[in-house]
Amino acid sequence: MVAINGYLLLAGLLLFASVLGSTVSTRLGLPLLLLFLVVGMLAGEDGPGGILFSDFTTATLVGQLALAVILLDGGLRTRTETFRVALRPAAVLASWGVVATALPLGLFATWLLDVDWRLGMLLAAIVGSTDAAAVFALLRNSGVRLNQRVKATLEIESGANDPMAILMVTMLVEMLLHPEQSSPLRFALMLVSQMGLGALAGLAGGWVLARLLRRLKLAEGLYALLILSGGLLIFAATNLLNGSGFLAIYIAGLIVGNRRSHATEHVLRVMDGLAWLAQAGMFVVLGLLVTPSHLLDHAWEALAMAVFLILVARPFAVATGLLPFRYRPREVAYISWVGLRGAVPIVLAIVPVMMGVPDSLLLFDVAFAVVLLSLLVQGATVPSAARVLGVEVPPRDEPVDRREVWVGGDAALELLEYLVGAGSSAEGRHPDDIAADFGEPGEVRCVAVTRAQRLVRLQPASRLAEGDAVWFAAPEALAEPIARAFGAVSGGLSAHAGFFGEFVVDPSCRAGDLALNYGFELSAEDAELDLKTLMLFRLGRGAVVGDRVSVGAIQLTVRRMDAAGNVVAVGLKVPHAGEH
């Protein structure tokens, strides 16, 4: 019992230190995943903790389990609209992108480390895929709001590129240990099995879980347990059938998350905590596994590998993969930069160690160092790179909080919270008067007002004051218009209005009429087009919120789109002198 309690004390202490250290990480602008790794390294044999841990089997089990949970949570939070925007380019990056990254990097590693070409290519394959845990965590917790095309591409790529990376690692390990058994046909069949079975198992398993979630009546805490256990069943069963469990559990989460039910909100809340626990536990264990002094022995090689990966191999793979899809150069540059490496390369680096590949510990140490450098350099610059490269979209006018209350069957009530800003049009008004300004009569209703964290009993003479929190029951479509009524007035344009423009125009209006009103010329052909068609023609691809087109003396920016991908609102801005 003493030993068991000692292990529990140690595990609790490490996680507790990691969570508390998150405040320091946030202030320094460093990714939390890097902090978890550092905590593990400090607790290891070269750190103050002095813990001797070299159990690669346990580390693999923890890594696989944690990655499954993280991918399930990522799938639950991914909307199907992102697939409309970026499925094809992300699929190319998840397949060709991994190969195109590994080929030049493998040649460079072979020359740099002076090893057999198969070993060099194995190291490149290990670090060739982006990591879902790192991408999901950093994009959703860095505070940056990317345009949908870039965000969707990064998320889908990271969730779907593991099968190709696993195939390449398996192939190269087999070529090193059993070259006589290797054949192109065998590896082609393995790829089809990994991708095909993974996709089928994910679709089927996700459909079953989604139906169970809608039909079963359980205690609130059991819904998330149902999805988690079901997801792990799908993950393990797919792996046993030689499919990609990672792809299967991601797709299963996607299916469940997009078939919303009365239990969806409970599941998302619990899964958020489980995903953080999985990330913290996995990175702490992987940090314990490494010996920092060994990393220093190969520091220059790892630095050279990381620089070549970040500045040459990854940009080459992204540029060639996205060439047919007409991404803007700045979007290509950002997707290249945010090719984050994390737990997946470390878990893959354990495979050759466990299989007894010669010099596999060298591969593990170099791969671990490359991950550290990726998190430190790329992970810490996710927000600043978005601003520099112009792929950031300003935050929308939206509620400060929202809740979904299911009132029976498929009927749900959307509750939206707003704070009264200084000088806003809501200040000094009765909340019922504000509600009457939006939608059909009775469509928006005030359900609660709090002032100084105390509930206010509304009277006919009640008036809202700065800082009051107001809860409305309202359709999601009215969330943004209501938010504009509560926004503080500071004398200048908000970041949102500054980006999209002060005016909103109907995308179906004729471009020639706009040209006439603003005094610029258009060709006869362009003048007959509506604004939406003209913008899509000049963009040369599908639009996302934030896409911008210059028409004569004005800028038109896609301001809002519907679920089907149609442009429904366009922002109009007349640039001032010197503004670009």
Q: What is the CATH number of the domain that holds 349?
A: 1.20.1530.20
Q: Same structural domain for residues 130 and 97?
A: yes
| Residue 392 DSSP class | B
In angstroms, rounded to a whole number, what is the distance separating the alpha carbons of residues 12 and 8?
6
H-helix segments, 44-145: 56-77, 81-113, 117-126, 132-141
* Structural domain range at position 143: 2-52+84-177+261-389
Do the domain assignments include residue 33?
yes
Segment 401-412, tens digit of pLDDT? 888 777 666 667
Which two structure tokens, joined as six digits, stand for 493? 């344009």
Q: Same structural domain for residues 480 and 505?
A: no
Instruction: Give the end of a domain, one of 337, 358, 389.
Output: 389
- Strands of the sheet containing 554-561, edge to edge, are 503-505, 567-573, 554-561, 548-551
**Nearest alpha-carbon partner for 21 in 5, 8, 33, 7:** 33
The packing angle between helices 2-28 and 32-43, to 10°, is 140
The pLDDT assigned to 559 comes to 84
What proportions of the chain, in percent to the nearest 5, are helix, strand and coil? 65, 10, 25
Do the domain assignments include residue 231?
no
| Residue 397 DSSP class | S
Low-confidence stretches of the chain (pLDDT beneath 70): 1-3, 7, 18, 21-30, 407-411, 488-497, 575-580
Cβ neighbours, 10 Å, residue 78:
21
Q: Same structural domain for residues 6 and 126?
A: yes
In angstroms, rounded to a whole number, what is the distance separating the alpha carbons of residues 67 and 279?
8
What one-letter code names the amino acid at 388? V
Q: Same structural domain for residues 307 and 371?
A: yes
Which two structure tokens, joined as six digits, stand for 54? 């070299």
Instruction: Give the end of a domain, one of 361, 389, 417.
Output: 389
Instruction: Give the end of a domain, one of 449, 468, 486.
Output: 486
Q: What is the CATH number of the domain that holds 416?
A: 3.30.70.1450
Q: Which residues are 567's β-sheet partners?
A: 561
Which two structure tokens, joined as six digits, stand for 282? 């996995």
Tally of domains within the chain: 3
Q: List phi, psi (to 5°) of 356.
A: 80, 30
* In contact, 160 and 93? CB cutoff 8 Å: no
The torsion of the CA quartet 263, 400, 148, 99, rounded to 10 degrees, works out to -70
In angstroms, rounded to a whole number, what is the distance separating the alpha carbons of residues 321 and 290?
34
Distances (CA, A) of 189 to 183, 232, 237, 242, 282: 10, 25, 19, 10, 31
* In contact, 469 and 446? CB cutoff 8 Å: no
Do the domain assignments include residue 289?
yes
**Nearest alpha-carbon partner for 125 in 147, 142, 104:** 104
Q: Same structural domain for residues 301 and 380?
A: yes
The pLDDT assigned to 308 comes to 95
Do the domain assignments include residue 469?
yes
Which two structure tokens, joined as six digits, stand for 27? 């202030």
Q: If you search the block for the tokens 């099995």, which residue do you land on?
A: 193
Q: Same structural domain for residues 163 and 94?
A: yes
Q: Same structural domain for residues 18 and 167?
A: yes
In angstroms, rounded to a whole number, what is the distance separating the alpha carbons of residues 124 and 260?
40
The pLDDT assigned to 312 comes to 95
Do the domain assignments include residue 73?
no
The pLDDT assigned to 343 comes to 82
Q: Same structural domain for residues 335 and 272?
A: yes
The pLDDT assigned to 335 comes to 95
In angstroms, rounded to a whole number, what is the distance separating the alpha carbons of residues 345 and 349?
6
Do the domain assignments include residue 194?
no
Distances (CA, A) of 436 to 210, 282, 482: 37, 51, 11
In angstroms, rounded to a whole number, what is the distance separating the alpha carbons of residues 552 and 529?
14
Label the pairing between strands 454-455 and 411-419: unpaired
Q: What is the CATH number of the domain that holds 566?
A: 3.30.465.10
In angstroms, rounded to a whole number, what is the distance separating the alpha carbons of residues 466 and 423?
8
- Angle among Cα 560, 562, 568 to the nearest 5 degrees reads 50
**Mean pLDDT score across all residues of the chain:** 84
**Nearest alpha-carbon partner for 378 in 4, 116, 30:** 30
* In contact, 177 and 353? CB cutoff 8 Å: no
Q: Same structural domain for residues 420 and 525?
A: no
From first CA to last CA, the distance across the chain in angstroms is 68
* In contact, 223 and 266? CB cutoff 8 Å: yes
* In contact, 439 and 474? CB cutoff 8 Å: yes
Q: Same structural domain for residues 325 and 384?
A: yes
Q: Same structural domain for residues 318 and 407?
A: no
Q: Same structural domain for residues 24 and 156?
A: yes
Which two structure tokens, joined as six digits, stand for 24? 């320091």
* In contact, 271 and 231? CB cutoff 8 Å: no
Do the domain assignments include residue 68?
no
Do the domain assignments include residue 186?
no
Give every CB contact of residue 558 below 8 A, 6+ residues apart in sequence: 535, 543, 544, 545, 546, 547, 548, 567, 570, 571
